[in-house]
Structure 1
Amino acid sequence: MLLSTAVRAQAAPLIRKFGPARWAKDIDNAVVYRNVHEFASHPYTRGFWETPGKGLICNFSLATVDYAAAAAGHPDLLNHTFLVTNSPGGRRGATVRSHDNGRTWEVTSVEPHRPNNDVMVPRIGIDGRPGPLSEVGPVDFTDPNVLVTNFNYLYMQNDPLVRDFYEDLKTVTEAPERHSFIRISKDAGSTWSRSAMLPMDNLASLAAYDSATIRADGRCLLFMTGSTAGFQGAPGSNGPLVYCSTEDGTDFHFLASIAPDRNGGPPFMYPRGVALPDGRLLCVLRRDRDWSAAQWTEIYSSDDGGGTWRFLSRATDFGAPSAPVLMSDGRLVLVYGRRMDPPGIRAVVSKDGGRSWSPEIIVRNDAGSWDIGYPRAWEVSPGRVGVVYYYNTKDDPIQVKTEAWPPWGAGGVRFIARSFFSID
């Protein structure tokens, strides 16, 4: 009877821990990259890696903008989609690197001809071919010097940086709406392989967000989204999914859909995986009804290596996408941008593998508009978190005002920032 009671208690649903938001402790904010003529943004989807010796690599997007003109009555100059094809050179990639666990950063690449989702300038005839990266195999993903990047060339047809490359891809295989690609580095990001097109595995499109997780058996899992074309007249579906590496690590294939039971309602976006010490896998997902306000974070879990998934918890009321960081003491921290007033950066903590979450922890609330967030996070030391994100502040000398909807241009110069904070 005692055993039966214990089993029932363990299976009982957890009540979420409610309470007022509190400030983080020992907050240290700094600027990583800022240029008054550029819109710097979106490290969450552009690549972030930890390397041996307390090294960090962070990619983000850059676009040339005229903030003065935006403030003088043209706020749409800061529209994200407009920047892709109308900013001089379009959106492009940049890379910063830290050798002291994120305290200081140096710019290592602002290549003007590099698409924002790739670590290199694509080479026609070399990059993008389908098929495995046999020339770099076998790949040991448990080696801390081995890094994986998975990405797509956004807006291929229109982006002047990759238009020729996209046309070249169509001579290799007829490209559907969106393909995804991988590169692998074996020297902690100093050099990268050619890019290889991931197999579609009967998907109609496939979108990648630089989200790779290493499973306990050493297999690499890529967390992406994809759509099906439908079957015998049935409508297609779109949602988060997992690709798994092959035995030698040089290729990837479809493994499973993550949320087939919740396809209705707001879309799922930006899946990111976490491998817990006990072997359970988590997937952190963004859902939203309004990208400038009502967006939140949901957690899914898998106990069979990513083959099947179930809903586990809702981690935030308002805030996504969330960057997960597994602390050395087993706690899981999510850091995210809060886009509702007052906008800023916040975090929540789970002590039970993502089943329940603490009240919010405020990292900063001095943003000049909702256009912030997309963080990546890491453990600086026990109980202390580092996070890099894009931001704009309400005390910036440049402030764009608009009453138009959507309010794309409101706020100040978009720059890359980092914060250290303690959760205890």
Structure 2
Amino acid sequence: MLTRNVYSEPGRFGGWPANHGIWGWGNEIVVGFQSCCFKVIDDGSHAIDKSKPRKNLQARSLDGGRSWSIEDGPSEQTLGNGHLDGKELSSFDFTAVDAAISFDSNKAEKGTLYQYVSADRCKTWRGPYLIRLFEDRTIEPRIDYIVKAEQSVVAFLTAHKDNGQEGNIFCAKYDHGTWQVVSWLDKEQEGFLIMPSTVQMGAHGFLTTARWQHEGRWGISSYRSFDEGSSWTIGSPVIEDVGLSNPPSLLRLQDGRLCVTYAKRTSPYGIYARLSGDEGASWSDERVLRQDGGHWDLGYTRSYQLPNGEIVTIYYFCRDKKSERTIEATIWRA
């Protein structure tokens, strides 16, 4: 098991890879994250200076996660472009081997989000394309999608609930130039159900894992669809009371098993994994990837499997409360 530094910079807080996506092509990996101005906070919130601007960045490895370079992410590359019409996406081939998709929130207009596309392994991004899915509902998209055909994509996104509170997961589909909402995973979920991570299950099915919170309890649940996301049933829990809540990263391994990685925000703070050999009907005991964290402010994993079978799990990390947050990677085998 190896640990590698992805991003660390004096005075900066590197955070939340789960919010910004991961893409891979053989031994080439790209992962998104956010860089903020670091500031020690004593009120229990993230150690960032909210008065200072943030940057959306991405890290690239060409050697299976051993070394990394830092680049501007989609919103930084396209800064100043203005809003593009989403209908222009009808000329983009989502099945192209080097294609990638990213989403971002639009704080200025409820019911909408931004979409970005890349045709060259995230080296250059096009966008932002303005996508409207609701009339008046805040959307907080993460990067979770499955390409079905050249002009067909299914995405799993998060929006605020009817009462304006965070949040519930919905399934949306892009088909030949148009996005539309297909379904909610669990519209009646108490507390919140957010930050999905999804794999294909057969020709027409999906398995989604998601972060939840309700009445002081936290965990990671699973949902199953057999009809392209039109309807959902709740599946086996991955973990309950994971500790102050953290999103999952779900991955289908080369041997067919499923792998979920996540962080724990209670002591011992660290990064963990569980495996399933029965399509998510049950999950293994917890596997420790590392548990040397010094504070709750860590996690948000994203994982990718290399051609040689190794898994690269990327997350943000905190060695102690007063130190900058870094982006790090653990390379391991299941």
* CA spacing shift, 1:238–1:375, aligned 2, 3 Å: closer
Alignment map for 1:208-247 (pairs within 5 Å): 208-215=141-148, 219-227=152-160, 238-246=167-175
Aligned to 1:182, the other structure's residue is in SS state: strand
Partner of 2:234: 311
Does residue 60 of the first structure (1) align with residue 33 of the second (2)?
yes
More helix, by proportion: 1
How many residues end up aligned between the 2 structures? 331
Partner of 1:275: 200
Aligned to 1:416, the other structure's residue is in SS state: strand
* CA spacing shift, 1:263–1:343, aligned 2, 3 Å: same
Partner Cα distance (2:201, 2:149) in 1: 9
Partner Cα distance (2:47, 2:105) in 1: 16
- Aligned partner (choices 95, 106, 109) of residue 69 of structure 2: 106
Q: Which runs of 5+ in 1 are unaligned?
A: 1-26, 157-165, 167-174, 394-398, 400-409
Alignment map for 1:22-421 (pairs within 5 Å): 27-51=1-25, 53-66=26-39, 70=40, 75=42, 79-80=45-46, 83=49, 85-87=50-52, 90-109=53-72, 118=75, 120-123=77-80, 126-129=81-84, 131-134=85-88, 136-153=89-106, 156=107, 166=108, 175-176=109-110, 179-215=112-148, 219-227=152-160, 238-246=167-175, 248=176, 250-260=177-187, 262-264=188-190, 266-289=191-214, 294-319=217-242, 320-381=246-307, 383-393=309-319, 399=320, 410=321, 412-421=323-332
Identity of aligned residues (%): 21
* CA spacing shift, 1:351–1:203, aligned 2, 3 Å: farther
Q: Which runs of 5+ in 2 are unaligned?
A: none
Aligned to 1:86, the other structure's residue is in SS state: coil
Cα deviations across residues 303-344 of structure 1 (Å, max 9, x unaligned)?
Answer: 001111110111013433111111111111000011111110
Query: What is the CA-CA distance between 1:251 and the residue it aligns to?
Result: 3.4
TM-score normalised per structure 2: 0.89
Contact 2:29 2:60 in 1 (8 A): yes
* CA spacing shift, 1:313–1:199, aligned 2, 3 Å: same
Partner Cα distance (1:303, 1:282) in 2: 9
Query: What is the CA-CA distance between 1:381 and the residue it aligns to?
Result: 4.4
Query: What is the CA-CA distance between 1:280 and the residue it aligns to?
Result: 2.0
* CA spacing shift, 1:194–1:217, aligned 2, 3 Å: closer
Query: What is the CA-CA distance between 1:388 and the residue it aligns to?
Result: 0.6
Partner Cα distance (1:288, 1:238) in 2: 10
CA RMSD in angstroms comes to 2.7
Cα deviations across residues 88-137 of structure 1 (Å, max 9, x unaligned)?
Answer: xx22212211112222111123xxxx8xx8353432xx4335x4242x53
TM-score normalised per structure 1: 0.71
Aligned to 2:263, the other structure's residue is in SS state: strand
More strand, by proportion: 2
- Between structure 1 and structure 2, the one with the greater Rg is 1
* CA spacing shift, 1:133–1:188, aligned 2, 3 Å: farther
Cα deviations across residues 135-174 of structure 1 (Å, max 9, x unaligned)?
Answer: x533332222111111114xx4xxxxxxxxx4xxxxxxxx
AA aligned to 1:330 is: G
AA aligned to 1:35 is: E
Contact 2:112 2:134 in 1 (8 A): no
Contact 2:38 2:47 in 1 (8 A): no
Aligned to 1:198, the other structure's residue is in SS state: strand
* CA spacing shift, 1:254–1:421, aligned 2, 3 Å: same
Query: What is the CA-CA distance between 1:210 and the residue it aligns to?
Result: 1.9
* CA spacing shift, 1:316–1:215, aligned 2, 3 Å: farther
Contact 2:262 2:300 in 1 (8 A): yes
